[in-house]
Structure 1
C-alpha cells in the first residue's frame, strides 16, 4: 500500500492513529471503511484497497489501536469498544465523511458491530468476513462462551484467549515467534482445531517452539510475512503486548460491562441496513455455520441479508481475495 496515502490523527483521548486514505472519485461511489483484526494491520486489506480505489470508491483503512503505525497502549481498558468506536468516528470526521459502508474481518467485526450500536447514523451498510455480527452480551463470560461452543461443535474454540491473557504470553511469543506465526497463519486450516482452539494447546506449542511442515500458507507472499514480523516482533521494532491487550479485556468483566449502557433499540443495526456476510467454510474458530445460522434468526428478519460462502480459511480476504472483491463490488452496487 502506498505509504504516501497514509495520514495520522491524534484523537480526543490522546491516541494517534495511522490510517490509509484514498478519496472518492465520484459522489455516486460510497466511501468504504475497512477494519482489520488480530494480529494484523491495515495491510490485510491491500487487495481490497487497490481494487476499490481503482474503481473510484473512497477507501479508509485504519491501523487499529495497538497495531501497525497506530499507538500501542498496553492497558486493556484502552481497547473498550465504546472508546475505539469514538476514535474511528473522529477519523471519519477529520476526513469529512458523514457516512460509510463498514467492512470488518475478525475482531474488526466486533468494532463494526459496536459502530452499529454507538453510531448507527454513520454506517449505511455492514459487511462481515469470517466473524459475523457480534451481539451485546453484558454478562457473558469468556469461559461460558467457550463451554457453549465446545458443546455445540465438540471441541474447544477459544482456548487461545486464555493463553493470550497470560502475563508471560508476549515474552513466550517473542521467544518462539515462528511458532506463533505458523499457528496464526496456518498452512493447513485444521491446525487451528488442534493447536489454537484447545485449552493450553497454543501455550504448549509456543513454549516448546513447535515446528510445522511449512512456515506460512501458500497464498501469503514473503512481503506480507515480513510485514507481519516487523509489525509484531520487538526486535524488529514491533510490539506484541498491545495487540494481546484486547484478549486481556475480553476475558475480564469490563468487556461486557462497557456495552451494558447500549439501549435495546441499538442492539442490532437499523432494520433498513443491508448486511453482507462472507463465511469461511474452512475456519475452525469462526465456524461458518455459526455465522450463517445467526443471520437466519428473527433478529434479522427485517434486514436485507446477503450471504456468500468461500472455500477458504479464516484469512479469506487474502486467500480468496479475487472472489471476495467481486462479490463485495456486486453487493455495494446493489446499495446504490
Structure 2
C-alpha cells in the first residue's frame, strides 16, 4: 500500500487519513473510493493496486470515525452533509475538480448524498452492493424490521437496533472486547450465516458477547484481517461505526436533505451487485435513470472476494466503465453510457483529408450482449444511417457486427468485430483494413476508421 497522508478539514477540524496516487496516463480519471461498515481504506487494497497500475488516479480515505481518522463523540458530527463537506475539501486540497466516485455499503449512501450536494464534481458514479434511497426519505427501522420479519421470517436490519440504538455504547464496548468474533461474523466465508446471526434482532449482540466464531472468507486475507484488527481491536475502534448508525437511526441527516427530495442525476451510473439486489437497483434507478447494472456472484463483499473469476470480473467491469468515460467527449458521454450509439471525429484532424473520409473515427458502444439498432451516427460528416449492432458467438469467439448505410457516396458496409475471450485487444476486420478495438467484459466499444474505399 502507498504511504498514508493526513488532511485536516478547515471547516470541521476533523483529521482524515488517506492515500493518494495521481493518474499517470492521460486521460484516465481519478477514482475516489468510499468504504462502508466496518471497513477502512486498506479494504480497497486490490482496487488501489489494480487501477493505479493501469494509470488511474486513486484516492481512498478512512472515513470519519474509522481507522486513523478523527472519531468525534457526537453522532450529529457524522451527518452525511458534514462528511461530504470534509471530503470535498480533501479533493480541493488534492486539486481534483472531478472524480469517479466508487462507494460500497454506507460509503455508497455517502456518495449519493455528496452528488446531490455538489453535482458538478463527478464524471461518473459506481455503487457496490447498495443502491441508496432517494434523498429526504426518513429511515423507519421498526417498520423495515417488522415488514421483513413478516416477509422473510427474520428482521433484515436487526443489527442496526443494537449498533445504533439505546445500547450503542454497550455495543461498541462489546465489539472492541471481542473483535475477532465480530470480524468473523461481518466477513464470513458463508454469507448465509447473516440470516441466523447478523440480521435478526438480538442475534449479533448474542454472537459477539458470547465470543462465537464462524469461518472468515478466504478472500479476506491474513494481512487484511490484521489491518482490520489493528483498526478495530482497541479503545474507540468501533466508536465511529456505531455513531454512523446512531446518526442514521435518529434521522439526523434529514434536515440537510430538505429541498433535495426530487434530486435526480443524469451522470453515468454503474451498479454492481448480486442476484439478490433487485430492490437496491430499483431504489437507485429512481434517482439515477441512466444507471447500468451488472451482477457478480460475489456476495456483499464483491470488492474483496478473492475467488479469481469474481475479482477479475469486478475489475474488468469497472475498468471498462472508466475506459468508456475516457473515450467519450463531454457532449456525447451521456449518449454513450446511456446505451445509444454515438459518433465523433478525431480532434485536430486534417480538414482536407476529411473530404476523402480519412483519419476519422466513429465510436460505437453496445452496453449489453444483445441487439441495438435504429440509430443514426454523424461521424465527421459521414452519416451512418440505421446503424445496428448485432452480437453473437461463433466457435467460442464473441462477434460484433456493426451495420449501417453510409451517406457519403460509400456503399453499405459491415464491420465485423471479433472479440476474443478475456480482456485482450482484438481486431476489426472490414474486408480490406484492420484496426484495433479493445474487448471489454461490459459491453464493447470500437474506433472504426472510415477510409476511402470502404
Q: Same fold (TM over 0.5)?
A: yes
1:173 and 2:185 equivalent? no
CA distance, structure 1, for counterparts of residue 136 and residue 147 of structure 2: 14
Residue 301 of structure 2 corresponds to: 315
CA distance, structure 2, for counterparts of residue 148 and residue 136 of structure 1: 22
1:57 and 2:56 equivalent? yes
Residue 276 of structure 1 corresponds to: 270
Residue 284 of structure 1 corresponds to: none
CA spacing shift, 1:146–1:291, aligned 2, 3 Å: same
Q: CA deviation at 1:40?
A: 0.5
Instruction: Determine helix, strand or coil for the equivalent of 1:182.
Output: helix
Instruction: Determine helix, strand or coil for the equivalent of 2:304.
Output: helix
Match of 2:318 among 297, 310, 328: 328
Asked whether the 8 Å contact 2:66–2:240 carries over to 1, the reply is yes
Structure 2-normalised TM-score? 0.67
Instruction: List alignment gaps of at least 5 residues for structure 2.
Output: 327-454
CA distance, structure 1, for counterparts of residue 135 and residue 21 of structure 2: 32
Greater relative contact order, per chain length (Cα 8 Å cut-off, separation 6+):
1
Instruction: Determine helix, strand or coil for the equivalent of 1:253.
Output: coil
CA spacing shift, 1:219–1:115, aligned 2, 3 Å: same
> Higher strand fraction: Structure 1 or Structure 2?
2
CA spacing shift, 1:220–1:138, aligned 2, 3 Å: closer
Q: CA deviation at 1:38?
A: 0.9
Instruction: Determine helix, strand or coil for the equivalent of 2:109.
Output: helix
Map 1:106-117 onto structure 2 (within 5 A): 106-117=105-116
Asked whether the 8 Å contact 1:185–1:217 carries over to 2, the reply is yes
CA spacing shift, 1:147–1:335, aligned 2, 3 Å: farther
Q: CA deviation at 1:293?
A: 3.3
CA distance, structure 1, for counterparts of residue 260 and residue 280 of structure 2: 24
Map 1:114-263 onto structure 2 (within 5 A): 114-151=113-150, 153-165=152-164, 166=167, 167-212=169-214, 214=215, 216-234=216-234, 239-259=237-257, 261-263=258-260
Asked whether the 8 Å contact 2:139–2:249 carries over to 1, the reply is no
CA distance, structure 2, for counterparts of residue 16 and residue 79 of structure 1: 13
CA distance, structure 2, for counterparts of residue 173 and residue 295 of structure 1: 31
For 1:173-208, what per-residue CA distance to the aligned partner results, in whole angstroms no more than 9, with x for missing partners?
A: 222222211111112110111111101111111222
Asked whether the 8 Å contact 1:32–1:103 carries over to 2, the reply is yes
Asked whether the 8 Å contact 1:142–1:250 carries over to 2, the reply is no
Name segments (4+ residues, structure 1) moved above 6 Å. none
Structure 1-normalised TM-score? 0.89
Q: CA deviation at 1:234?
A: 1.0
> Higher helix fraction: Structure 1 or Structure 2?
1
Instruction: List alignment gaps of at least 5 residues for structure 1.
Output: 282-286
Q: CA deviation at 1:20?
A: 0.7
Aligned length: 318
Which structure has the larger Rg over C-alpha atoms? 2
